[in-house]
Amino acid sequence: MFIATGGYSGYLPKAPGTWGSLVGVLLWALGLHRLPPTAYAGMLAGILLIGTAAAGAAEKIVDRGDPGLVVIDEILGQLLALALVPWHPLAALAGFALFRFFDILKPFPVSWFDQRIHGGLGIMLDDVAAGLYALLLLQGGIWLLKG
């Protein structure tokens, strides 16, 4: 439950997904942004594997599908959104806002994963898709600002 709830941040009141996303931003800001790209990708893959198992187990423990207190998926999605982003408070804020936007709005295929894939993998994959949307927009914005 410690992993599934993002260090118990999923138990915080109101909007546990937002708290989980903030944990992701905090982890990124406190040092994960310094990882080389291959190590960062490996870390994301590790969170996906461990998070899938933890989220699936948490579903069984609380006897509810995709329980709100499970936020390891938001942590992963947020870290994915911030991949390859240079450390800057505005970049972190933009990545946070974009990820939350896509996680809440759930455009296709985020909604497809959310509705069709169940268990731990389903919990994780919709946030991976939302994180990819946020990553693409954030990287596009950075590219436009540099060019």
Among candidate residues 88, 78, 82, the one with its CA nearest the CA of residue 139: 82
Give the end-to-end CA distance of the chain in Å, rounded to a whole number: 45
Total domains present in the chain: 1
The mean pLDDT of 120-130, rounded to a whole number, is 97
What would the two tokens of residue 8 be?
């118990």
Amino acid at 27: L
Does residue 62 lie in a domain region? yes
> What is the domain extent for residue 29?
9-146
Does 4 map to a domain?
Answer: no
Would you say residue 78 has pLDDT above 80? Answer: yes
Question: Is residue 27 a part of any domain in this protein?
Answer: yes
Classify residue 48: in a domain, yes or no: yes
In a domain, 35, yes or no: yes
Tell me, yes or no, if the pTM score tops 0.95. Answer: yes
Does the residue 54 lie in any domain? Answer: yes
Amino acid identity of residue 94, one-letter, is A
**pLDDT exceeds 80 at position 147:** no
pLDDT, mean over the chain: 96
The answer to whether the beta carbons of residues 57 and 124 sit under 8 Å apart is no
User: Is 131 part of any domain?
Assistant: yes
Tokens representing 13?
């009141």
Per-residue pLDDT tens digits for 32-55: 999 999 999 999 999 999 999 999
